[in-house]
Amino acid sequence: MASKYKVAVVGATGAVGTELIRILEERNFPVGELVPLASKRSQGMRVEFNAEDIPVRMLDKDAFRGVEIGFFATDAPLSKEYAPLMVKEGCTVIDNSLCFNLEKDVPLIVPEVNSHRIREHRGIIANPSSATIQMAVVLYPIHKAAKIKRIVVSSFQSVSGSGNKAVNELSEQVKALFNFREPEIRVYPYQIAFNCLPHIDEFRENGYTQDEIQIALETKRILEDESLKVCATSVRVPVFYGHSASVNIETEKKITPDKVREILSKAPGVAVEDDPKKNLYPVAIYAVGKDESFVGRIREDMSLDNGIVMWIVSDNMRKGTALNAVQIAECLISP
């Protein structure tokens, strides 16, 4: 592989694209040339990378020439249209849109779990949803030790998962309410400030949302176990950054909370914070800006013989999206 790479970030001016560029710089990824791409409305904008101000180029079919690694931080329709075109130009695409996540010939990767699948790619590698990533990193070592049979997860997802417009809307709604004004509602069906919405993505015929179905199917793919039974509930909460999850697992072999803590304390990408008597447990505001998935409140499920309950928190914009994508690229270029 080359020592330096021509790297494109599609959606460079959005929340995920901005974080991707920041992490590429933080981790000293060997970028020879950065190509920031975005839609017409971002024309004239610039991004900073390694002390350079780089003009944002318009996304079109001629923008991919010579690009070796392309990160897509866009919505699904744009990824579906442009990612295959980039592949035709000889580029390897790492896609964040969820567009390709359930396609069998597209590796779905969490590097701490299934990096061995990266080499199977045919030009596109998929980044899982942020809620799946933070859970998979924690559950994989437990699955290896005791074989998980069933997962019930309630995922409490921050508004940044919906992009900058949602972050701004939460901020504006809080300001409005504190000033005794009626908040404007644009991004979500209801007011998100001081509220919780059990509704992320579109509802399907079976009563689950697409996000909940995605978490279940992605988890099976990443842990490479189709026998897993997964039930997910996704809730949008009035938090700016950081997803939290209550996760209940049933294992084939008996495993104690102490053994779980021991296993997870040695697991890559995981930080155990679990001393409730000292009020030590993961919270979203302290996970922001961190790379790990934090886990605590590890305890036995009193309703099951082989059940464990835990609380998992992670920065959805870092490990949940941009960092995981950059880690995939690091695995891709490693010997």
The pLDDT value recorded for residue 110 is 98
- pLDDT at residue 293 is higher than 90: yes
CATH code for the part of the protein at 5-128+321-333: 3.40.50.720
In the predicted model, what is the mean pLDDT of the chain? 95
The residue-averaged pLDDT of 187-195 equals 98
pLDDT at 3: 82
Is 214:115 a contact under the CB 8 Å cutoff? Answer: no
pLDDT tens by residue, 225-274: 999 999 999 999 999 999 999 999 999 999 999 999 999 999 999 999 99
Per-residue pLDDT for 43 more than 80? no
- Mean of pLDDT values over 133-156: 98
- pLDDT score recorded for residue 1: 52
Domain boundaries, the chain: 5-128+321-333, 132-316
Q: What angle do CA 102, 106, 110 make, to 5 degrees?
A: 80
Beta carbons of 243 and 316 less than 8 angstroms apart: yes
| Tens of pLDDT, residues 50-81 | 999 999 999 888 888 899 999 999 989 899 99
* Residues facing 33 on adjacent strands: 6
pLDDT digits (tens, 9 = 90+) for 212-225: 999 999 999 999 99
Average pLDDT over residues 139-163: 97
pLDDT at 2: 62
Specify the CATH number of the domain 132-316.
Answer: 3.30.360.10
For 160-166, what is the mean pLDDT? Answer: 93
- Say if strands 57-58 and 31-38 run parallel, antiparallel, or are unpaired: parallel
